[in-house]
A and B are shown apart, each in its own frame.
Chain A
């Protein structure tokens, strides 16, 4: 939307402003009461995994989550995609939300780029990998090397599996 903040009514009177001191109360310019405002979320850069993209940055993202909204809200966007396809194929894609290239700064071809999380009809979440990550986290001595090795398997678009 390009707005710097939005007014929110329901939070007034709660302890929310203790948790979030960046949420401010201002005078309602149209009345005598006060209204709470929250700052816009506009990341410097966002990372988004798409089903399909073309080489110009147009892409199809999951429609059940807020990736298309995040792309529009961000200053810059890096997209990884399961498939790089012709623009015509994006226009006829029945599944997902279309994100225009005007919102996208870089596209990288990364098959299985969301694993071990799920990716639509391409693959399911790898529960065993996710459980092994949680188990590894219980030992702080070895967890950092587990994380390093996990990342090294994905260097330059490698596959975690």
Chain B
């Protein structure tokens, strides 16, 4: 089963850290990704630019709008994500707990939702033949 580990952190927290502390954290994070790749758990890991670089896009009544910043103002911002394959939630929690960023921010563990299966099931219950 796939889980998305969304890494949240208060961007201000990095201001309080020294250069070398940040360097250690970065290197540990990369090493942890590598470890997950070797153990076969990693699907994709990616760090992200700060929310200052974010743009939020919406389409309403056919009109597109693009606005500055993230969708919601919260104290912790998404700083990256690690998409993993795990046996169950317990394994996913253990993997999230080993992420170095868990010591600075928090990791939201979100199970996959099988949209393909849902759409197929819906199609199977309707009579209309599909291509």
Is A bound to B? no
Q: Chain B residues in contact with chain A, CB under 8 A?
A: none
Q: Chain A residues in contact with chain B, CB under 8 A?
A: none
